Amino acid sequence: MRIDIISVVPDLMRSPFEGSIMKRAQDAKLVEVHFHNLRDYTTNNYKQVDDYPYGGGAGMVLMIEPIDTCISELKAARDYDAVIYMTPDGEVLNQSKANQLSLMGNIIVLCGHYKGVDQRVRDLFVTHEISIGDYVLSGGELAAAVLCDSLIRLIPGVLGNETSALTDSFQDGLLAPPVYTRPADYNGHQVPEILTSGNTPKVEAWREEQALKITQSKRPDLLD
């Protein structure tokens, strides 16, 4: 997978990709991540990429020209499966959507900033609009990092255990069951006996039962 991220402040994003799973995925050549500074694609002498909105109102809006230039250059070099715009009014990201997007080959992620982008960008170039929640951030950079993390960890070979991602919360529509590790007895607080029994079918049945109970308690909306 190749991910091209377009941002006004790309340096804000680099840190999440320089450690842990996302770094290992890049080192293993399982994913390429490229950052593009929108200011490099403007013809304005002052590197301006935003302007006041027509009709008045507070805030600034990212202009269409530098975004068009950047996306056009990228598309001239290769085909893309999606151009994703991170925006609070987009479709809320969930595990199902992450699963779908993780199967794509090349994607562009456009980070909004200020009061967003010229609507014509959304009309002409964007194929997916995604939100990470019903709240507003200063820009789409942190949301883009969240999106990329959710996709990259699903790429085969990224996680050490191939089945790990398949047992995450939401993969089967339920929250994950409780997990324990050594010691089996910590100051009188013991791991459930079933987990140390070695009876795999019973362990799996217990996990399914616990997942259902936790989902009913914490997120009953998932069962609807």
In the chain the domains, ranked by start, together with CATH numbers, are 2-152 (3.40.1280.10), 169-223 (1.10.1270.20)
Q: Give residue 224's pLDDT band: very low, low, confident or very high (50, 70, 90).
A: confident
* Tens of pLDDT, residues 67-116: 999 999 999 999 999 999 999 999 999 999 999 999 999 999 999 998 99
pLDDT in tens, 136-164: 999 999 999 999 999 999 999 999 765 55
Mean pLDDT taken over the chain: 94
Distance, in Å, from the CA atom of 77 to the CA atom of 135, rounded to the nearest integer, reads 35
Beta bridge partners of 130: 91
Residues in contact with 112: Cβ distance below 8 Å, sequence separation at least 6, in sequence order = 62, 85, 86, 87, 139, 140
Calpha distance 97→91 (Å, rounded):
9
What residues have CB less than 8 Å from 77, skipping those under 6 apart?
none
Asked if the bond preceding 183 is cis, omega within 30° of 0, the reply is yes
pTM of the model: 0.88
**In the numeric block, which tokens belong to residue 169?**
């919360």
**If you average pLDDT over residues 23-42, what whole number do you get?**
97
Taking only the tens place, the pLDDT of each residue in 195-204 is 999 999 999 9
Q: What is the pLDDT of residue 52?
A: 95
Question: Helices (DSSP H) in 45-167: which residue ranges?
Answer: 64-77, 95-102, 119-124, 141-152
Residues with Cβ within 8 Å of residue 135, at least 6 apart in sequence: 88
Task: Assess contact for 89 and 112: CB atoms under 8 A.
Answer: no
